[in-house]
Structures are given as C-alpha cells and as structure tokens.
Structure 1
C-alpha cells in the first residue's frame, strides 16, 4: 500500500473548501437554510482522531520497540485506517471551513455560535489529518539489516 500524500490531502481540503463554500453560499442566498451545526461535531471528530491514535499505539510498540504482539493483518488495517483518516480529515477540514466562510459576512446571534463550532470542528479535523499521518508513520516497518547493502558485499 502506498502512503497517503500530504499534497493530495491539501488538494482534497482545498477542493472540499471551494465546493462547500460555493454550494452553501448559493444555497443560503437562494433561501435555503444552512445545515445545522452541533457541539457534537468537534467532539465526534476529535474522538475519531483519538481512536486512530489508540489503534496505532500497539502497532507502534510492535514495529519500533519490539514489544507486544500484533497480527500483521491488524497492522495493515491500522495503516489503511490512518490513510483514510488523513484523507477523510482533509475533506472535513474543507467542509467545516467552508461553512465558517459562509457565516463570516453576517455574524449576529446564533451565527456567532455556529462560527465557533465550525472553527473548532475544522481544528479537530486538522488533528484527525495529523493523527492519520502520525499513525501511518508508526506503521512503517524498518528495513532488515540484510537490506542495508544492496551490492551484496559483506565487508
């Protein structure tokens, strides 16, 4: 499996930001109501980031410290989870940042609370992206000592 690429995460976040901002701006100017923002959003995204890190810790101990035992299939699934967290988090960063941008022009009453929620959820999603890249790094297996000299010379 190829590792998640930071440039692709950035691209996903920017496209998600642009699409959500344009769509929500057109939707609200056309009379539609904004999607509701709840305090559960930043809490849930942060909980997912914590779960990704928690899933990666046993793999880190196994790969880097040689402690514990982890099924290789579990390690591979953890690496896939980390990659999904990096890309999914980038998507969420764009979505919630786009909602925040739509709220900026007219900050009155409930919109201030919604802007705070959108901002906190954007930060939580950014932490999810970081968690994905950190756990992905933990899942890398270092090369064997035999592989250090590709020429095959022993001395």
Structure 2
C-alpha cells in the first residue's frame, strides 16, 4: 500500500469544509440549526489518536528488532488503521471547520461563540488525528529488501 499524501488530505478537508458550510448555511436559512462539536468529541478524537500512536510505536519497535513477538499481520493492520485515521481526521477537520465558518459572523452571540470555540478545538484535534495517522504510516514503513550484494533493490508498485 502507498502512503497517504498530505495534498490529498488537505483537499479532502477543504472540500468537506466548503460543502459542509454551504449545507449548514442552507439548513440555517430554513431555521434548522445543527449542534456544533461537543467536548466529548474532542476527547474521543484525542484518545483515538493516542491509541493509534501506541499501536504504531509497537510496530516501530518490531521493525527495529526490539519486539520480535509482534506479527507482521498486526503491522499491516496498524498501517491500514493509520491510513484510515489520516482520512478520518481530514474529514472531521472539514466538518468542524465548516461549522466554525457558519457561526463566524455571529460571534457576538455567546452560544454561537461557544460553538465556534469547541468546533475550532475539535478541528485542531482532528488535524492531530491526521498527523498521527501519517506518522504511524511512517512507523510501519518496511525498508526495501537487500539483494545478495548487500544493495537495496528498487521496489516497483
């Protein structure tokens, strides 16, 4: 599997933010107000990022030879989980940024200001989830095999 590109994640977050902001504005023009993020969401995202980082750290130790008891299948699953975390973080970033963009013009209202703060912090936590996903993908990177001469072969995909 190929590593996730930062440009792709940024594009996903931007598209979700723009489309989400347009949909939220449309709903609010019809007097349908969706709640913003909650603090428990921020905690859940950060907990998920911590668990993924811990799994990635185990794989890193395995690849360095410090944990020979870890299976290669677990390393592959951790890579897939890291990739999913990177994309999930990008999607959530877009969702929370969209909410911030919608409530931005009404910051003088205390409830809207609180929604903007929590959604902004949630967006930062979602960015952290994406970053952790990218870092763990790097942890799971297996060096190319060496040929008989001791030189690394080029791996083609």
Give 1:149 deviation, angstroms. 5.4
Equivalence map 1:92-103=2 (5 Å): 92-103=92-103
Give 1:144 deviation, angstroms. 3.1
- State the TM-score, normalizing by the size of structure 2: 0.90
- Separation (CA, whole Å) in 1 of partners of 2:33 and 2:152: 63
Determine if the alignment matches structure 1 residue 148 to structure 2 residue 151. Answer: yes
Which residue in the other structure is 1:76 paired with? 76
- Separation (CA, whole Å) in 2 of partners of 1:133 and 1:45: 15
Which residue in the other structure is 1:132 paired with? 133
- Separation (CA, whole Å) in 2 of partners of 1:51 and 1:76: 16
Structure 1 residue runs without a partner (length 5+): 151-155
- State the TM-score, normalizing by the size of structure 1: 0.91
Give 1:37 deviation, angstroms. 2.8
- Separation (CA, whole Å) in 1 of partners of 2:13 and 2:146: 39
SS at match of 1:148: coil
Determine if the alignment matches structure 1 residue 89 to structure 2 residue 100. Answer: no
RMSD: 1.3
Structure 2 residue runs without a partner (length 5+): none
Determine if the alignment matches structure 1 residue 41 to structure 2 residue 44. Answer: no
Q: Deviations over 1:99-150 (max 9, x none)?
A: 0110100111111111110000000000000000000000011123436255
More moved, 20-29 vs 33-42:
33-42
Moved >3 Å (runs of 4+): none
What is the number of residues matched between the two proteins?
149
Determine if the alignment matches structure 1 residue 15 to structure 2 residue 15. Answer: yes
Which residue in the other structure is 1:66 paired with? 65
Q: Deviations over 1:66-121 (max 9, x none)?
A: 11121111100000000001111000000000001101001111111111100000
- Separation (CA, whole Å) in 1 of partners of 2:140 and 2:37: 35
Give 1:34 deviation, angstroms. 1.9
